[in-house]
Amino acid sequence: MARILDISQPVGTRTAVWPGDQPPALSWTMSRASGDSVNVAALTLSAHTGTHVDGPFHVDDDGARAADLDLARYVGPADVIDARGRAVLDVGALEGRTHVAERVLFRTRDDVDPTVFPDRVVPVTPALARALGEAGVHLIGTDAPSVDPIDSKTLDAHHALIDSGIAILENLVLTDVSPGRYTLVALPLRLTEADSSPVRAILIEAEP
């Protein structure tokens, strides 16, 4: 059978969030220890907790909400590219490639600690966003919490990717994933009002 690789951050009360965002919290509305017949957990968390997709409404008041995202963009062939050592993700990150899959995932870090928010990220340039759009790419993924610099106020990469019709997947864990071609599955929840959504992202290896 084909091997499944979980590339999602684990989510718990110690999961790091964007500074100022809602940290994850868990309580119990029912508990067997308290005499209830079942255990039922209640969650409070940001739509950007852990591994998540950024919907267009995140940066565009007229953009689609999480429930309206095109699910086809989040399932299908994906190339994992090792981009460690790069200061930015620009068109040079695709150097030597004559073709990329419709989904491209960039590894930019040696390791990911989901309990620590990074000091810096390797941002996507608008030029790369446009190049990927022209190449027919449907989705870009990164192991960083944002495709833009942490201190960006204009969010140029977010806008360029959305304008190019490219879905955004952030906070991946690609530490133990070799570069190559996989099948990605990273479906957003059908949240009717939220701008974005957490996902359980997996890669499926091609069968030998």
Q: Give the start-to-end residue ranges of the domains of the chain.
A: 4-8+49-205
Q: What are the tens digits of pLDDT across the range 17-52?
A: 999 999 999 999 999 999 999 999 999 999 999 999
pLDDT-flagged residues of the chain (< 50):
none
Q: What are the tens digits of pLDDT across the range 44-53?
A: 999 999 999 9
Question: Within a 10 A sphere around the Cβ of 64, how many other Cβ atoms?
Answer: 15
Predicted TM-score (pTM) of the model is 0.96
- Given 58, 99, 138, 158, the catalytic residue: 58
Is domain 4-8+49-205 in CATH 3.50.30.50, yes or no? yes
58 is known as an active-site residue = yes
